[in-house]
Structure 1
Amino acid sequence: MSAKRGDRAAPPRRRGGYALRFATNDAAKGWEELCHQATANTRAAFDAIEADPCPAPPTSRQHPLKGSLAVGVHNREPLPQWQWQYEVTAGGRVWYLVDHERRTCWIRHAGTGHPRITD
């Protein structure tokens, strides 16, 4: 769907950066909630993921998920990369899969509260 009046304008991708796209409507809603609750931290998350979605070594805020949460599929296509997490706030998280070939990160979860599935 094309952007229209009132829609949020996402910053353009930086040269060499990754595009961030929502894999689900729930992820898009959660991202908006994060933007309202923790603006600066969400922007820092966006910048970090766009620049280096899989830092080596992982950082305290940006690291791969473990166990059954580590593997991800997008559009029925398993991606060869682990599913990653960015800790936006104490409870707020962004989970994403990386498609290096298309230089795209698919945001599968974003939310202000800690995901219950990890409890």
Structure 2
Amino acid sequence: MSPKRGDDVAPPPVEGEWRLRFATNDAAKGWAALCTEAPGNARRCFEALRSDPLSTEIPDRQHRLRGRLATTSYGGRELPQWEYEVTAGGRVRYLVDVDRRTVYFVYASTRHPKDTDA
């Protein structure tokens, strides 16, 4: 998604930080909604993913998905898919590209995704 007038400016990664990018327009819109609804929690999510998207220190908040959701194809490559709980219902799903040190947001919403309910 190309930035346009009025959009927020994302700071560039520095000193070992990871680059955060949107994989879909829906993820960008969902992230904006999360930032409006829970700015403090969204900021903590941003900082956690920017510094260590593969952290397992708080598994209830940040964890790799399992089963059919464990990986997703992006840019012709299978990447591990993780989830960060921003609020009780709000989630960010992201793919981790270790080679490019990039995190791709594939889902962000103030509501829990339904695909894990089954």
Q: Same fold (TM over 0.5)?
A: yes
- Residue pair 1:20, 1:106 contacting (<8 A) in 2 also: yes
2:62 pairs with 1:54: no
C-alpha displacement of 1:58: 5.2
**How does 1:53-92 map onto structure 2 within 5 Å?**
53-57=53-57, 59-79=59-79, 82-92=80-90
> Amino acid of the residue matched to residue 67 of structure 2?
G
Q: Which residue of 1 aligns with 2:10?
A: 10
Q: CA RMSD in A?
A: 1.5
Gap change, CA 1:89 and 1:76, over 3 Å in 2: same
- Residue pair 1:21, 1:107 contacting (<8 A) in 2 also: yes
Q: Which residue of 1 aligns with 2:41?
A: 41
2:113 pairs with 1:118: no
Q: Which residue of 2 aligns with 1:99?
A: 97
TM-score by length of 2: 0.91
- Residue pair 1:58, 1:64 contacting (<8 A) in 2 also: no
C-alpha displacement of 1:64: 0.5
C-alpha displacement of 1:12: 2.0
Gap change, CA 1:48 and 1:118, over 3 Å in 2: same
How many Å separate the matches in 2 of 1:2 and 1:100? Answer: 23
Q: Which residue of 2 aligns with 1:29?
A: 29
How many Å separate the matches in 2 of 1:39 and 1:73? Answer: 30
TM-score by length of 1: 0.90
Higher strand share: 2
Moved more, 4-13 or 42-51: 4-13
Secondary structure in 2 matching 1:91: coil
CA distances 1:12-34 after superposition (whole Å, capped 9, x unpaired): 21310100000111111100000
CA distances 1:80-112 after superposition (whole Å, capped 9, x unpaired): xx2100000000000001011110001110000
- Residue pair 1:97, 1:105 contacting (<8 A) in 2 also: yes
Please list every run of 5 or more consecutive structure 2 residues that lacks an aligned counterpart in the other structure. none
CA distances 1:21-59 after superposition (whole Å, capped 9, x unpaired): 001111111000001001010010000011001014553
